Amino acid sequence: MMLASRFAPRVTQRVKIQPSLFAQNHTKKSVQFTNNTRLQLPHLRKYHPPEFQFRYLQDYSKSRALWQTNKSTTVTREGQKRWQHYYRKSDPYTRFTQGQHVFEIWRRRPTFWYEVAGIGVLAVAFYEWNMETVPVSGRRRFNIISPDAERSFAQQQYRQIIQEYRGRILPNGNPTVRTVQHVLERLLPTVGMDDLKWEVYVIDSEEKNAFVIPGGKVFVFSGILSVANNQSRLATVLAHEIAHTLAHHSAERLSSSLAVYMPLIWICQFVGIPDIVSQLSVDLVLSKPGSRTQEAEADYIGMMLMAQACFEPEAAVGLWEAMEREEKKRGGVPPQFLSTHPSSHSRIQQIKEWMVEARQKQTESDCSRTLEYAQEFRKALGGPRPW
């Protein structure tokens, strides 16, 4: 029986392949496949018929031409079923299953769990190796960006900002610019970044904003002076922005984006999770909470800096109460979990909890003597200054 079966003639059947399955401009020739024909692709763990290999190799070489013939082509019914199984018309989400297919092939490997464990150990070791402590707050964080690289990125950002606001930057002799410079000069001795050349740019705009670019470039929008209407409130704003530079928050954000957020999104795509789901998940679960953590940390560091510089820490509460009123005038703000910043109300509550520590910093700096000298100086000038 085995001999008869072994030497039996090969049986073929003629099946007309639908022309829509093939593209134009390719070699027109009749190809014959039989039931006994099998071949194993080297990187897959299952057998595929030759017609599947033909289509696969065409796709792999990025050729847009597929095999077409106007004549009847001899294939097996089994081969036709396999062809239709692998190349049936796909729905709009077919590309999401490609990652699942590759993942399923990898999962079937005998060494799959060993490889996953090895990758996990390497990832944890890399993460722990690049952990560092944030100045003042003492928080541990992941960072792979060097200070030189951070300053290089900041230079590009600086040129873009100067180009964007060209013609709206107030001259150095402007009273508003001099006021900002005066407050900054009082803060800098407590910062400890003497190697930087600090520059102040006041932008004539109603926008209530301020920021500091790594490298000592301070940008203040004149609109924020309506709420930061005294020196201590302005010191709260500047100290907060300086704290971002002192803590290297921009480098931390870039590190998290390159080494944590993007790999997680790629892994989600690899296992077949849609792009929009993976991106929203990473944004809501990791990115936005991380940004709020940095903002709260900058509030804390900034409050300690301004207290050491002998500004009134209570002014921070007044500043955020004024900001909260402005937000209500504009119709409110989105929920905190959808924002990159803590709400003004939560900031006020947190600042009140830090008030005792800020007062202690002020006492350690012997600010009572400094404030007496400041009062005598103002009297000598003929009365209190508007700032």
Catalytic residues: 241
CB 351 within 8 A of CB 302: no
Which DSSP helix (H) or strand (E) runs through 201?
Answer: strand 199-203
What amino acid occupies position 367?
C
CB 190 within 8 A of CB 135: no
Tokens standing for residue 76: 């097996």
Tokens standing for residue 286: 């990791």
Tokens standing for residue 313: 């820490």
Distances (CA, A) of 156 to 149, 215, 309: 11, 11, 31
Residue 44 has φ and ψ, to the nearest 5°, of -115, 155
Hunting for tokens 């290297």 — which residue is that? 248
Which DSSP helix (H) or strand (E) runs through 7?
Answer: none
Cα-Cα end-to-end distance for the chain: 107
- Which residues, including other chains, have CB under 8 Å from residue 340's CB and lie 6 or more apart? 288, 291, 292, 295
